[in-house]
Chain A
């Protein structure tokens, strides 16, 4: 595609529910990143994929968060037993590789009520 595509753009869920957020990177980009951004703060790193493997998942806050990228393209961020504190904009970015220009999707605004 022309850019990084994230779906849904908005998601409202009840506390305790499971959610999946999808990211479709720019074609040919091997690196894919997930970030989380709260109001008034910069993006907070969650996980980085190089190809199909998670090269760095040190930013995942706890074991309720999990991400996959099974074919090295589309990635899904999965959040179990959502909490109100998980409410944020979840940003996905992709790049040709580490240290190259990263392009961000428009984000998914997650609201846990």
Chain B
């Protein structure tokens, strides 16, 4: 079992819909949680981070964290074709390094 699990997808949603991306992790000592967006051939770009249980909203993005269930999710509202990318979940135990999932590929169809 990988330390950070994501559905590989592809996840396809129509333009304007809500895209829901999910991630589970195995280390209960994890403290920090990050969502990165990676366009094909490019490097990861941080879009959200969350440390506390609950929801955190930033524009069209909402990160949700449930430490008891070891689950973190990313919601993208009003999805746009430009949101089409691979979304990487990363988890940090406060030791410095982040452990990444293999990503979920999202396609937003016009």
A→B interface (CB under 8 Å): 31, 33, 35, 40-45, 48, 50, 55-56, 58-59, 91, 98-99, 101-107
- Segment of B14-22, B56-64, B69-77, B90-98 engaged in the interface with chain A: B90-98
B54 interface contact, C-beta 8 A: no
Q: Which of B8, B98, B99 contacts A102 (CB 8 A)?
A: B98
Given contacts A43-B44, A91-B43, A106-B43, contact A98 B94 (CB under 8 A): yes
Q: Which of A40, A45, A101, A103 contacts B49 (CB 8 A)?
A: A101
Number of A-B contacts (CB under 8 A): 57
B→A interface (CB under 8 Å): 4, 8, 31-32, 34, 42-46, 49, 88, 90, 92, 94-103
- B contact residues around A55 at 8 Å (CB): 96
A43-B100, A56-B96, A102-B34 are known contacts; what are 9 more A-B pairs with Cβ within 8 Å?
Answer: A40-B8, A41-B103, A42-B101, A45-B98, A45-B99, A55-B96, A56-B97, A98-B92, A106-B43
